[in-house]
Amino acid sequence: MLHTTVGHAREGDLRAALATAEARLAERSAPMTLPSEGAFWSVLVEHDGEEAALFKAEAVCGIDARSWSELKASAAFRRHLRRPAPVLALFGWLGYMWWEVVSDLRGGYVPRTCGNCGSTIVPRGRRPRQYCTQEENEACWRERGRTRTRRSRDRRAPG
């Protein structure tokens, strides 16, 4: 199915690619509602610091507080924490993979395929690659090497 999705995207049919990817994601995920997002804020403070949490609270909740203590004491913040939080539960690595594909397609990223074997290739560096690396598909990589060598020898051969 990934080849079909990539094929649609490469042909310029992003709607079909997104529809295919969303269908696969739906098979491997389920929307859920968590009772609250309270744990998120504690982790945010622990990881990014109080200032980041205060900026996030202002952006997300519309609450302007001068300190983490003031924010926690705020009735508006406590109401916000009690609101259910929608999440998407992903089932295994395939669920995660399809979530990534859907996210990429929604962001306008079009996956690339190898010009030799047609496999999906992962972008690396700044220049867009056209072929598989040795790590991605050794047989394709070797075949391209043999082809280059043959072409080079044909050019040097007296004729």
Q: What is the mean pLDDT of residues 13-37?
A: 90
Q: What are phi and psi of 88, to 5 degrees?
A: -115, 115
pLDDT of residue 159: 59
pLDDT of residue 60: 83
Q: What is the pLDDT of residues 91-115, one digit of tens each?
A: 999 999 999 999 988 988 877 788 8
Q: What are phi and psi of 56, to 5 degrees?
A: -65, -40
pLDDT of residue 30: 96
Arithmetic mean of pLDDT over the chain: 86
pTM of the entire structure? 0.59
Rounded CA gap, 82 and 146, in Å?
A: 64
Q: How many CA atoms lie within 13 A of 98 on its CB side?
A: 25
Share of the chain above pLDDT 90, in %: 29
